[in-house]
Amino acid sequence: MRTFFEAVAGHARRNPDQAAFSDAHGSLTRSALLGEAARLSAKLPKSARTIGLLLPNGCEWAAAQIACVASGRTAVPLPTFFSAQQIDHIVRDASVDIVLTTEACRSSIPAGLPFLSVALTGESGAIPDFRPGFGAIIYTSGSTGQPKGVRHESGQVAWSAAALAAAIGATEDDSYLSVLPLSLLLESICAIFIPALVGGRCHFDAALAEAVGRGAPAGIAAAFAHHRPTTGVLVPELLRLWVAELLAAGGQKAPDSLRFVAVGGAAVPPRLAEAAWHLGIPVHEGYGLSECCSVVAVNRPGARIAGSVGEPLPGLLVSIRNGEIHVDGPCVTDGYLGGGAAERPWATGDLGGLDGAGRLTVFGRRDNLIVTALGRNISPEWVEAILLDDPGVAFCAVAAADAGLAALIVPAPRAAAWFEKVAPEAIDERIAARSAALPFYARPTRVKVISLAKAKAAGLLTDNGRIRRRVARELLADTISLSLSPTFQLEERTES
């Protein structure tokens, strides 16, 4: 981490008045960033080693993050969209000593836990002394059960930021637009660590990020058009929304300032990626997981291969063992909090393959593999990617149904009225046409359509837009129990 901090300090010495971070309330120069970090570090009790970050996206988070780096403390992001029970679990599980927060977020802090309000002055100050020891404990809402803490306490964050910056060609001329919650490790790396490392700039759209975290994003096309960044990171749901907003505006193009937009967290449907490129969104698919510090492989600028997630970051050894992706190298976690040291190479649980040029393709989760009553092995992600190529489908999940498959469909907002009004036969034809390229044993024989509102209320989606398969199976339970003849159901019709 020392190399990272020295780079940040070096940028501040060379050009102290250059803006580093900004939000709707103001900006922080390179010098002010370090000044704020020094003042925050001085206010933290010396005995406080594990620091909770309960802050909205913005300059306060950037200053708090750099303060943890400079003072050698362990940062534990506390998502503002987590429930009180989830936050209480995290602070107890991680033994959080004190929380850095703002007045707006204080009500979510468990009773009795010390906190320190972050109120920025924007003033420059002395560069803080560096102390080794920085680490991060990352929690995600996951697909089942209580969130687990993933420990990155051996330089994984700094290494990943440097490796990803080199892979995408990040420079001080780059400006990044942050629209994902900073509690996501990938967003923290891309919005804070990479710009600070290379001397670039980042603007936080806090309102949009909060809407994303709560599952109700809107206005992404306007945000990118207004701020005209060069880079950004999205999940597929946001890419789909951006494309839909541009098409609704008569095929308006994304700003020509963009040179690189990474998309990860789930598979990107090929037609969605193609439509995005046509509209000026330079989509580059990537792959990673929290246990490998969020990034394992990514398509490089000028070298994207559709359908793949690109080459692994330099310095990582990626291998395929019995069809499963294994990763070894500096990004691998130290282990789960409360558990033993991580085994190496790290077994990701994802199925994949490497081509002759070393590019990685991800097929899906090993534990999601469906074995039908007829003995067919089917990766549900394969079928779902085909169905998601329909621009009217926002999310879908496939599960076993007797000898075949059942699919849960969540319509995209612009298609909700269509799914509401048409006859079941029309839905039948639409799904059958989309599934025609699949072999007969992989075509869904049961489809249930639910509204986006019901999907969110049922907890179908994680904070990064992934499907909770346990919830999907529960929602499909009545459909799966029906006979094998194709039937398509529409539940909880959306208001027109």
Q: Are residue 319 and residue 416 in the same domain, yes or no?
A: no
* Average confidence (pLDDT) over 434-448: 90
Which one of 346, 362, 378 terminates a domain? 362
* Average confidence (pLDDT) over 397-425: 89
Q: Are residue 15 and residue 135 in the same domain, yes or no?
A: yes
* Average confidence (pLDDT) over 7-24: 98
CA distance 404 to 224: 43
Task: Mean pLDDT check: name the lowest of 56-65, 77-86, 175-184, 300-309.
Answer: 77-86
Name the packing angle between helices 380-388 and 424-435 (round to 10°): 120
**pTM for this predicted structure:** 0.88
For 115-154, write each residue's pLDDT tens digit.
Answer: 999 999 999 989 999 999 999 999 976 544 577 899 999 9
CA distance 351 to 366: 6
Mean pLDDT, the chain, rounded, equals: 92
Which one of 334, 362, 390 terminates a domain? 362
- The beta-carbon contacts of 393-399 under 8 Å, at least 24 apart in sequence, are 394/237, 394/240, 394/452, 395/237, 395/452, 395/455, 395/460, 395/461, 395/465, 395/467, 396/467, 397/460, 397/467, 397/469, 397/472, 397/476, 398/370, 398/444, 399/370, 399/469, 399/472, 399/473, 399/476, 399/480
Q: Is residue 471 assigned to a domain?
A: yes
* Average confidence (pLDDT) over 27-45: 97
* Average confidence (pLDDT) over 37-49: 97
Q: Which of 154, 130, 131, 151 is nearest to 139 (CA)?
A: 151
* Average confidence (pLDDT) over 358-379: 88
Which one of 345, 362, 379 terminates a domain? 362
- Give the number of domains in the chain: 2
Q: Are residue 391 and residue 319 in the same domain, yes or no?
A: no
Q: Is residue 77 assigned to a domain?
A: yes
Q: Is residue 92 assigned to a domain?
A: yes
* Average confidence (pLDDT) over 325-351: 97
Q: Is residue 342 assigned to a domain?
A: yes
Residues 6 or more apart whose Cβ sits within 8 Å of residue 42: none
Token pair belonging to 247: 């098409």
Range of the domain at 289: 2-362
Token pair belonging to 104: 């707006």
pLDDT at site 403: 67
Residue 260 binned pLDDT confidence (cut-offs 50, 70, 90)? very high
Q: Are residue 310 and residue 408 in the same domain, yes or no?
A: no
Percent of the chain scoring above 70 in pLDDT:
95
Q: Are residue 93 and residue 161 in the same domain, yes or no?
A: yes
Please report, in angstroms and rounded to a whole number, the separation of the first and last CA atoms in the chain: 53
In the numeric block, the tokens 């971070």 are attached to: 21
Q: Are residue 331 and residue 351 in the same domain, yes or no?
A: yes
Residue 357's CB is within 10 A of a number of other CB atoms, namely 9
Q: Are residue 290 and residue 429 in the same domain, yes or no?
A: no
Q: Are residue 290 and residue 395 in the same domain, yes or no?
A: no
Q: Are residue 188 and residue 163 in the same domain, yes or no?
A: yes
Q: Is residue 233 assigned to a domain?
A: yes
Q: Is residue 496 assigned to a domain?
A: no
CATH number of the CATH domain containing 434: 3.30.300.30
Sign of CA dihedral 162, 226, 283, 244: positive
pLDDT at site 11: 98
CATH number of the CATH domain containing 293: 3.40.50.12780
Q: Are residue 408 and residue 285 in the same domain, yes or no?
A: no
Q: Which of 307, 267, 286 is nearest to 465 (CA)?
A: 267
Contact present, 115 and 99 (Cβ < 8 Å): yes
Q: Are residue 159 and residue 105 in the same domain, yes or no?
A: yes
pLDDT at 387 over 70: yes
CA distance 213 to 188: 14
Q: Is residue 186 assigned to a domain?
A: yes
The strand order across the sheet containing 393-401 reads 393-401, 404-411, 444-450, 487-491
Q: Phi and psi (nearest 5°) for 168?
A: -95, 0
Token pair belonging to 138: 């990352």
CA distance 253 to 249: 9
User: What is the 8-class DSSP label of residue 313?
Assistant: P
* Average confidence (pLDDT) over 388-408: 89
Q: Are residue 167 and residue 311 in the same domain, yes or no?
A: yes
Q: Is residue 108 assigned to a domain?
A: yes
pLDDT at site 493: 27
Token pair belonging to 166: 């080199």
- Per-residue HEC secondary structure of 117-184 comes to ECCCCCCCCCCCCCCCCCEEEECCCCCCCCCCCEEECCCHHHHHHHHHHHHHCCCCCCEEEECCCCCC
